[in-house]
A = this chain, B = another copy of it.
Amino acid sequence: MIAEIIAAGSEMLTPFRQDTNSLFLTEGLNDLGVQVAFKTIVGDSLAHLTLAAKVALSRADLVLFSGGLGPTEDDNTREAAAAALGLGLHRDEQLMESLRQRFAARKMPMPANNAKQADVLEGATILENANGSAAGQLIDTVLDGSRRIVLLLPGPPREIKPMFTNQVKPRLAAILPLGFLARGLLRMALIPESLVDSRTAPIYQRFPDIETTILAGSGEIQLHFQCAKPTRAEAEARVADLSAAIEHEMQDDIFSAHGESLEEVVLLLLGLRHWTLATAESCTGGLLAGRLTGVPGSSRYFLGGAVVYADQLKTVFADVPEEIIEREGPVSEPVARLLAEGIRARTGASMGVAITGIAGPGPGTGADAEKPVGLVHIGLADPDDTQVRTLHITGDRERIRFWATQYALEMIRRHLL
């Protein structure tokens, strides 16, 4: 069984907006053992949308539309699907009544336009929309001798997500041939993709019934596993076996086997030791603290710290002597060390971490004028010792800043293991 997703909306044919519903829909379809073979993005025009619908019905068993169910002239998904399937549309009285009630509850008159939201394809099952006026529709029919399942779903994520999860998935699970898909995910930071592949390929190739995908980006390598089996237990056992074999090979290089982010793992490890952490950030200007405080409950182990962007704040908030900043430059191994120790002392945290570097695009100032863009020093102070790591990060300002926070988190993680 293969599926096609059609995202309807002219804004997704501009340089500014993208279809994102299809990622969520794909995940849900994969859960049911269905692969997505095609995705089409098409504008609001009835002619184009009908053409896209016909093409999809000719090559996929299951066709999902997202968007185009609103009340305006530009909302043509119902009409296009009806034309492509050769089915009639009729105005559903019950749906009309619930639209009227919806407007009455808001003490607003129902605009005439909205009546078209009660148009339903012949034989369709109506899917209620808890978060909007656009009802969904499910059509299970035969076209040119082949069974076709068609779903009309609203575009806004807060409408399509609950509708898909609560109404579509259970119905498809009942309709489709039984199957269960188990997933796994191993995450590693700051290792070359080629190294991960050369060490893990001999293992995952022994599991040809598991689809393994390696994704690299933002200082992280992810190994995704998908395995379809007739029962949940079988599928999950296979994924667990492969995951265990790769964990045995990669050991501590794996920071997460259950989906946690690197910052979540760092906070977890701090919690195990009952340690607290504080940060002093220069070139990353608060990004590291921002990542850590993005985790709910982080306040138990992350105290905060200082954004020591201007040189004088390195002295004001972390007691780095002015003369050392002047002599060595703010981007230097001694300043990273003193910042880490200083922020630890000032905040009373168990651990202090400091980042100083040249994020570019311009060069550093004073004693740093000759240092290269991408030079970053990370200092880590704990009750016993302070260590400093020196890095040369390539790329633009945004990449250098993000990778610096990634290196800092990975350095903390390995230190806490």
Stretch at the interface among A196-204, A242-250, A288-296, A375-383: A288-296
User: Which single residue of chain B is at the shortest CB-CB distance from A401?
Assistant: B294
Q: Please, which residues of chain B bring their CB within 8 A of the CB of A11? A: 213, 215
Cross-chain contact A313 with B347 (CB below 8 angstroms) = yes
Contact B304 A307 (CB under 8 A): yes
B304, A285: Cβ atoms closer than 8 Å: yes
Complex Cα distance, B14 from A23, in Å, reads 7
Are the C-beta atoms of A37 and B48 separated by less than 8 Å?
Answer: yes
| Copies of this chain in its oligomeric complex | 2
From A24-32, A73-81, A124-132, A266-274, give the one contacting chain B. A24-32
Residue A308, interface by CB 8 Å: yes
Please choose the segment from A51-59, A107-115, A137-145 that sits at the chain B interface, where 4 or more of its residues have CB less than 8 A away. Answer: A51-59
**Nearest CB of chain B from residue A356's CB, rounded to whole Å:** 12
Could you say which residues of chain B place their CB within 8 Å of the CB of A347?
310, 312-313, 316
As a 0/1 sequence over residues 282 to 304 of chain A, the CB contacts with chain B under 8 angstroms (1 = contact) are 11111111101110111100111
- Complex CA distance for A145 and B397, rounded to whole angstroms: 50
- Write the chain B residue with the least CB distance to A397: B296
Contact flag A307-B305 (CB < 8 Å), given A37-B43, A347-B316: yes
Which residue of chain B has its CB nearest to the CB of A24? B15
A42 & B38 in contact (Cβ 8 Å cutoff): yes
How far apart are the CA atoms of A42 and B59 in the complex, in Å? Answer: 12
Q: Return A313 CB to nearest CB of chain B, in Å.
A: 5
| Residue of B16, B30, B284, B294 touching A398 (CB-CB under 8 A) | B294
Report the separation of the CA atoms of residues A307 and B215 in the bound assembly, to the nearest whole angstrom. 33
- A261: chain B residues within 8 A (beta carbon): none
A317 to B39, CA, bound (A): 53
A224 touches B305 (CB 8 A): no
CA–CA, A346 and B346, complex, Å? 14
Measured in the bound complex, the distance between the Cα atoms of B13 and A27 in whole Å is 10
Task: Say yes or no: A37-B42 contact (C-beta < 8 A), given A18-B23, A293-B286.
Answer: yes
Q: Which parts of A1-52 form the interface with B (CB within 8 Å)? A: 11-18, 20, 23-24, 26-27, 30, 35-43, 48, 51-52
The answer to whether A348 has its CB under 8 Å from any CB of chain B is yes
| A346–B290 CB distance below 8 A | no
Which 9 pairs of residues, A with B, have the shortest CB-CB distance?
A: A285-B293, A286-B286, A286-B289, A304-B309, A15-B27, A304-B307, A39-B41, A303-B310, A286-B290
Q: Does A361 contact B (CB under 8 A)?
A: yes
B285 pairs with A292, CB closer than 8 A: yes
Residue pairs across A and B with Cβ atoms less than 8 A apart, 24 shown, are: A11-B213, A13-B36, A15-B30, A16-B215, A18-B20, A37-B43, A40-B40, A55-B55, A279-B286, A279-B307, A282-B304, A285-B289, A285-B304, A286-B290, A287-B293, A293-B401, A294-B397, A296-B362, A297-B362, A298-B309, A299-B309, A299-B310, A305-B306, A317-B317
Bound-complex Cα distance A30 to B15 (A): 9
Complex-state Cα separation, A297 to B362, whole angstroms: 8
B304 touches A313 (CB 8 A): yes
Q: Does A281 sit within 8 A of B, measured CB to CB?
A: yes
